[in-house]
Amino acid sequence: MSTSRLTIGLAFAGLTLLLGACSDGSDGRTAPDTLAQGARAAGIEFGAAIDWDLNEPRQRILAREFTSATVENSLKWQSLAPTPESYDFTRADAAVAIAENNGLRIRGHTLFWSRLNGLPTWLEAELSATADPGRMLEALMQAHAKTVVGRYAGRIAQWDVINEPLALLSGEFEPDNPFFEVLGEAYIDIGLRAAHAADPNAALFLNETSVEFLPAKFEGLIALAERLLERGVPLHGLGLQAHFIFVPPDRDQLEAQLQRASALGLTVELTELDIALPLFANAPDPLAAQAQAYADVVAACLAVPACTGITTWGIDDGRTWLDSFELSAANAPNRPLLFAADGAPKPAYTSVLLALGPAR
């Protein structure tokens, strides 16, 4: 090697060391190299929503950066059961295999959900055609939990057994929910008990949306969890979805909410985190403001030992549900994740690393 090339090489190595060692620029802490490294050091899981068709570049990011995966769509009842009698696990198995091949913890999502693509297309017609819908629905729910949770028993660590039981904007039950309409609150007991029977070692969650910015709705969720626990129903965790589409996260409020879940003896996770960039359109540097918001969310979780995981709802800005969801599609591109559409880490990625760090 020529002297000049050696000099350049050494200078480059020195610069890399310098940048690495001063990566937070201020108090000398060294950021971890990856989200996974930081999460392990901090004692939490850091996950992403994935599915069977995850492309190669995203699989590489998943393998490098994450410790956990949630199956975004393929484990939903609508995806699994084209008819009441038949299940097709092709896509679900493929998604689970991607997670397992990377040694990731897996969150199962979701058994009983009435919105968007949650309900089987045939369910309501079946229920209205029978003389005893309560009996039919209970039997269908039990069979569904047994089939799906049983299939992955010992492999899927956590299940969002019940998703979004509450009304969009209040702490009351969602009235337009066939499970609730037919069985009342007991549908939640039935679902959790059936999932527990199918895999006694899986951690069972109640997962809810929009509670982070609707305090009354959060109270409704806590009250529901308290009733379930009083009845001895196997509930182990609360999932706060953490879709920040309408307002940015409030660190103190979020931390207080995580504490409330903890006080019930429950685990709590932030299960579907994304923070829409248009929220910060008026900030001098929107990407920096988004980065701060992500750091706030991570700090809130790390402040509460019962907060055992954070999952972003996707990997990069090139594939986010917010760009097609009816309440956020008009703002597309929402750019709500930690990686840009080309896979490059965003300022939010760096701020999450620093919030998780220092490297140990």
Distance CA 174, CA 163 (A): 11
- 259-265 LR contacts (CB < 8 Å, sep 24+): 259/304, 260/218, 260/222, 261/222, 261/225, 261/237, 261/306, 262/304, 262/305, 262/306, 262/307, 264/222, 264/225, 264/226, 264/229, 265/229
| 318-326: long-range pairs with CB below 8 Å, 24+ | 318/342, 319/58, 320/274, 321/72, 322/243, 322/245, 322/274, 322/276, 325/245
Note if 272 is an active site residue.
Answer: yes
Q: Is 208 in the site for ligand XIL (CB under 6 A)?
A: no
274 is an interface residue for ligand XIL by CB under 6 A: no
| Residue 192 C-beta: closest distance to ligand XIL, Å | 17
| Residue 42 C-beta-side C-alpha neighbours within 13 Å | 32
State the catalytic residue, choosing from 164, 208, 212, 255: 164
CA distance 70 to 269: 12
Tell me if 116 contacts ligand XIL by CB under 6 A.
yes
Minimum CB separation from ligand XIL for residue 345, in Å?
22
Instruction: Please report whether residue 321 would count as binding ligand XIL according to CB under 6 A.
Output: yes
Looking at 176-227, which runs of residues are DSSP E strands?
203-208
Pick the binder of ligand XIL from 67, 74, 241, 267 (CB under 6 A).
241
Cβ closer to ligand XIL: 280 or 313? 313
Q: Determine whether 208 is an active site residue.
A: no
Dihedrals phi, psi of 283, to nearest 5 degrees:
-75, 150
**Residue 292 in the binding site for ligand XIL (CB under 6 A):** no
Minimum CB–partner distance for residue 84 and ligand XIL (Å): 22
CB of 299 to ligand XIL, least distance (A): 24
Q: Does residue 117 bind ligand XIL (CB under 6 A)?
A: yes
Binds ligand XIL (CB under 6 A): choice among 23, 73, 114, 177: 73
Q: Shortest Cβ distance from residue 73 to ligand XIL (Å)?
A: 5
Give the active site residues.
164, 272
- Binding positions for ligand XIL, rule: CB under 6 A: 72-73, 116-117, 163, 209, 241, 272, 321
